Amino acid sequence: MNALDWCFKKSIWVYHVNAGSCNGCDIEILNVLTPYYDVERFGIRLVHTPRHADALLVTGPVTRQVKERLLRLYEATPDPKLVVAVGSCPTGGGIWHNSYATLGGLGNVLPVAIYIPGCPPRPEAILYGVAQALGLVPQQVKKQEFVEVP
């Protein structure tokens, strides 16, 4: 299901959440907001409270400490809402996938609609994920579970 099916006819306002990120992905999110990439041409706008947001843009591997706050942010976001995982960390835990301090990825805590892998993902990849959420392009990648080789 894409975002248009959820009645986001004109624009999606997003709230950025750092769930234990190293800031690499966060910098790339700022990058797509600059005039060079200009994500606002798709109607995407960064807002400063989850109560105004249609989507949560989450970076980081989701640490145990941040889990409760993340759930409160999700509850504070009005329905219908999208959760977008930006980076390899929220996609599957990244290099922290088996750390005692993290929860192995955002999908273990919240229902994720779009995964944008990469460490960090290029601005073009973030734009592709957004375009996918808007139903402008078909999905070409799927989430894969990490399997440890014995």
Which residues make up the interface to ligand SF4 (CB under 6 A)? 21-22, 24-25, 59-60, 87-89, 94, 119-120
CB of 18 to ligand SF4, least distance (A): 9
CB of 26 to ligand SF4, least distance (A): 8
Residues 6+ apart with CB under 8 A from 113: 1, 3, 82, 83, 84, 133
Nearer to ligand SF4, 77 or 91 (CB): 91
Nearer to ligand SF4, 2 or 102 (CB): 102
Residues 6+ apart with CB under 8 A from 23: none
b/e map 62-92, b = 16+ CB within 10 Å = bbeebbeebeebbeebeeebbbbbbbbbbbb
CA dihedral over 15, 68, 25, 138, signed as positive or negative: negative
Nearer to ligand SF4, 24 or 43 (CB): 24
CB of 92 to ligand SF4, least distance (A): 10
Nearer to ligand SF4, 25 or 114 (CB): 25
CB of 119 to ligand SF4, least distance (A): 3
Six-digit token string for 96: 């922290």
Question: What is the Cα–Cα distance from 88 to 56, expressed in whole angstroms?
Answer: 16
